[in-house]
Structure 1
């Protein structure tokens, strides 16, 4: 049991900047922003857990600060903040609660769900402060020496060449047989040569890591004996999560993360972080007091103007961080720059980005958050990806983020899922999605790579499950299968769940190949979910956020079907990397560059070989479409001032029962065609089948065929 002593010899005045704990070689300067506090205690802990309290007697610009000599890296600390207890006014100060420094670079220990963590007794809105000391059950912030700059160069992959691979640090290597057991599920595990070799052979240019900011599981998950596996419950925006550290939790996690980034960069692979700046781990008003709530509740969170005891919740997680506050906005920008400059990160995917862009209430693309991102000379050079929605009214903003931003294209996901489940949407929506979604991104000057194309992600069915289940099967989450979406847009190919039926299995494997082929060859940036290339399954669980076990982890023991799919996916990505027509920097014009030629840079064909008409796009019974990409008209690839002539391709998608003959367009499109792949015949070698232009070529039911034009 720890003891606390007050030190009458307070710290030196120190400086209000920079925020956090800064070691200068002789001592540490501590700062904490809290505009409504009346006093702040700095709490220093020794190795035995004994606490020494120092009052920070200086406050400048609402920043409480003090300098303590003769301490340095490794020092564990926290804060206790004094101020009014008045939930109805939005104030929840309670010095009995040890609070984590929002600017800490590392946290030590763990949060143990205990009544002492809660700042209130009775009703969260009208109760009274709880006087139990939370220190024995919460984290310690850790002083670190400053890490400065990178000793290597970034890959800087152009957007149009980017292939994103979304993965979970633990789940990706937890079962990898070639990674040493003590490194599995860690930053070092992800940096292991066997893992990097897989990414390189597959053709990945950028890994997008599920949240690695230090997080705390929600109490309702802990009560079930489970954890928040995905990690969308951030507590510290500057600290790598020690869950993934093989080097301890007193700073080793920081160096381990930096070493991981360096190893991936050396292989030419970028690192993108999924960041959760929209809410924190403290949850709603009845949640624990761990940091922000006790430091300055009204300063950090959006509270209801009519009842400040309640939070405005655009996230579905109980609270919304108030990015309208200058100091909060500064914290977010300081965090982004830290991960970019000190940790080497190449970009960010912003979870529920619409919540950050809300001004008074509505999503405002001219909000302060969007403005500072645009003008920041560090952040505006990085890859910026929005999840362009939140749970509030008007939060669905696909296509509405400004230049510099790319977006998870939810309309792409829905259109392609509908195609391969046999939905009745017609082909108009599909045409836009295959060709880069110009209807969403062209009008504001963005490029096709503004569309992050995806069919699956961490949230929802895996690719295998998308064609194995019609309904979610989330019983393992212990929520009576109520959690997770019911809008799966999936098709079980006739049997719900796993089966030994050979015909059903063959169709499912073909459907996975169809979906991956569509994804990789669409204009825009493809995002593949880790394990989809190896037929990973979650047993129909479409919300495995609390499953830190083999249900979520990637299985590296591959059966023949998984080996075949892995080879097919690698083949697709190799083709994409070699063929500029699939990596468009500009939107298609839909017209010939040469007025004497009828061939457009992009042409669409009916099964009878005729060009698509407006009426054809609106036919709801249409299930087959040909897309011709003319490599002769690529305008955005030059070498020494001369245009590079690329191969031209004809892609057929046939999403229907029954085989169908399609007529291939002849001259001037092509004299003949070489079949590059056929998802119904995955072992067919590239170029082994040649079809004359103008001739008929059969398409198997539910198949995708790519042909290379020969002129």
Structure 2
């Protein structure tokens, strides 16, 4: 049932957390489960834990059947793959003679792993007890063979590479203990270019998590790679809580031109506000800090980022719901490729846990009972589970108790993006109205002059040859008067979305051609976004 749901909601691709065979329990860490699967044991075998048929060939057969089902619904399948380290236990206590060999180290440690001069496994960039050595041709070939298998035999459409910068390092180019030189990133590393060549040959997508503990390389991967854009995440989170980081916000909404113009263009910037490792969207607007010391089934867990750039919205349920819609509107109108976390379209919460990597419980899973209700966080976790979600959103002012306005709003925006090529261009336009391109024009609320650093309200006109959108964004605590753009070309501007609380009974959107006609001045409520659309004559 998942594939039809995703298709109906407006999603075009699903990215799965690691599906390679992994160690179910962390060796040496009593009571911990490897729920997210980021400790790979085999780069060619699907995880048997996820299969109903655990007989010979069962997991492989079920995986390919799943991929076929997604494809039949028009959904692409991407895999999150972990090639920066394996499930080796590392050298315990710094003793070269005590190693929990579970993967490649049992027969070819020197061929696969980066080591110090004392033959201790290096984990500097990964923090996971070991780091693969991609100076080694054998290690590089393992990755390419694995990728080829999963796209040709198993049928997947693309890959997201965990800590992908490790794949761009050459330990053999520096002394084993020269840490400054070992951190160097090679943009034209033979493995990175080899993966790009494979992607072109097989018509698949390859996407980098372009950072690790040793460096941040967003925008620096070779052509043919997409990249998770962490700059987008940070700039949008900050602006949406009123930080006034106006220049950075404009840069990322405009597709991060300075980092991607010479590296494949707009479709290589994967924009996101939240990902699997961190707050989900509802928790981002509900907690000032991580809340990981929770009892089961929501915790406890270790780690997690301490700098979340979050705001609890002053404890106001209505404002939290409004700010959720702000993130959806900004993300779907930004240049680049949007990515969201499963459940964010309905208001799923992890009760503030921002790193539940080791928690394999029903509380961490998407709860589809949140879709047909106006009080999504008030539904039971599960009938026999003695725990409840924190109700941080309250009850939406919905047209009926069986309607989740956030879900309806998210689906509308995804459909809008799908139906309008102007919102998913592959290249930038100029800074002028008119012409054959699509231009993003950032102005002050009144329409004259450019936004200045520190401004918390701005207007962006998305001008295409046959239509235009205007987003009036107000991240200030007071209402702001905006000027609707002029009617050049006979354009008639109609409201199609408004994230303010007053519009919840309308699910905060109006189908094209039905919304209120707007001209002249428009008052935009505090902490809200108004979107208007015009079809040019």
The answer to whether residue 211 in structure 2 is matched with residue 385 in structure 1 is no
Residues 552 and 455 of structure 1, relative CA distance in 2, 3 Å threshold: same
The separation in 1 between residues aligned to 2:490 and 2:115, in whole angstroms, is 64
Any stretches of 5+ residues in structure 1 without a counterpart? Answer: 1-193, 496-503, 633-644
**Equivalent of 1:628 in 445, 451, 461:** 461
Which residue of the other structure, out of 211, 220, 226, is the alignment partner of 1:406? 226
- Compute the displacement of 1:350 (Å): 0.4
1:500-511 aligned within 5 A: 504-511=316-323
CA contact (8 A) 1:337 1:378 kept: no
1:474 deviation in Å? Answer: 0.6
Once the 2 structures are TM-superposed, how far is the Cα of residue 315 of structure 1 from its aligned partner? 0.6
Q: Which has the higher strand share?
A: 1
Relative to structure 1, is the Cα distance of residues 277 and 519 closer, same or farther in structure 2, using a 3 angstrom cutoff?
A: same
1:429 is the counterpart of 2:236:
no
The SS at the match of 1:708 is: strand
CA distance in 2, matches of 1:670, 1:422: 35
CA shift digits 1:133-165 (9 cap, x unpaired): xxxxxxxxxxxxxxxxxxxxxxxxxxxxxxxxx
1:87-133, CA deviations, whole angstroms, 9 ceiling, x for partnerless residues? Answer: xxxxxxxxxxxxxxxxxxxxxxxxxxxxxxxxxxxxxxxxxxxxxxx
For 1:460-609, list aligned pairs within 5 A.
Answer: 460-476=278-294, 483-495=303-315, 504-558=316-370, 559-562=373-376, 563-592=404-433, 594=435, 601-609=439-447
CA contact (8 A) 1:464 1:512 kept: yes
Q: Is 2:428–2:439's contact at 8 Å kept on the other side of the alignment?
A: no
Supply the distance in 2 between the matched residues of 1:336 and 1:252 (Cα, whole angstroms). 21
1:239 and 2:45 aligned = yes
**Which protein has the bigger helix share?**
2
Q: CA 1:480/1:567 → structure 2, altered by over 3 Å: closer, same or farther?
A: closer
Per-residue deviation, 1:436: 1.3
Aligned residue number for residue 534 of structure 2: 709
After superposition, give the CA deviation of every residue in 1:151-196 in whole Å (9 maximum; x if it has no partner).
xxxxxxxxxxxxxxxxxxxxxxxxxxxxxxxxxxxxxxxxxxx222
Q: CA deviation at 1:323?
A: 2.1
CA contact (8 A) 2:89 2:101 kept: no
- Would you say how many aligned residue pairs link Structure 1 and Structure 2? 482
Contact 2:86–2:103 (8 Å) recurs in 1: no
Distance 1:432 1:561, change over 3 A: farther
Match of 2:237 in 1: 417
**Against the structure 1 CA distance between its residues 253 and 594, is the aligned structure 2 distance closer, same or farther, given a 3 Å change threshold?**
closer
Q: TM-score under structure 1 normalisation?
A: 0.65
Q: Hey, what's the Cα distance between the residues in 2 that align with 1:259 and 1:710?
A: 43
Pair 666,545 (structure 1): closer, same or farther in 2 beyond 3 Å: same
| Stretch deviating more after TM superposition (329-338 or 664-673) | 664-673
- Checking the alignment, whether the CA contact within 8 Å between 1:293 and 1:300 is kept in structure 2 is yes
Whole-Å separation in 2 of the counterparts to 1:440 and 1:222: 41
1:473–1:542: 8 Å Cα contact kept in structure 2?
Answer: yes
Answering whether residue 270 of structure 2 is matched by residue 270 of structure 1, we say no
SS at match of 1:307: coil
Once the two structures are superposed, the pairs formed by residues 198-237 of structure 1 within 5 Å of their partners are 198-217=5-24, 219=26, 222-224=29-31, 226-237=32-43
Q: Structure 2: any 5+ residue segments left out of the alignment?
A: 93-98, 172-181, 377-403
1:169 aligns to what? none
- For 1:570 and 1:480, locate their aligned partners in 2 and report how far apart those are by CA, in whole Å: 33
Contact map agreement 1:221 1:546 (CA 8 A) in 2: no
Look at both structures and tell me which one has the larger radius of gyration over its CA atoms.
1
2:516 aligns with one of 690, 696, 705: 690
Q: Following the alignment from structure 1 to structure 2, what is the Cα–Cα distance between the partners of residues 481 and 263?
A: 34
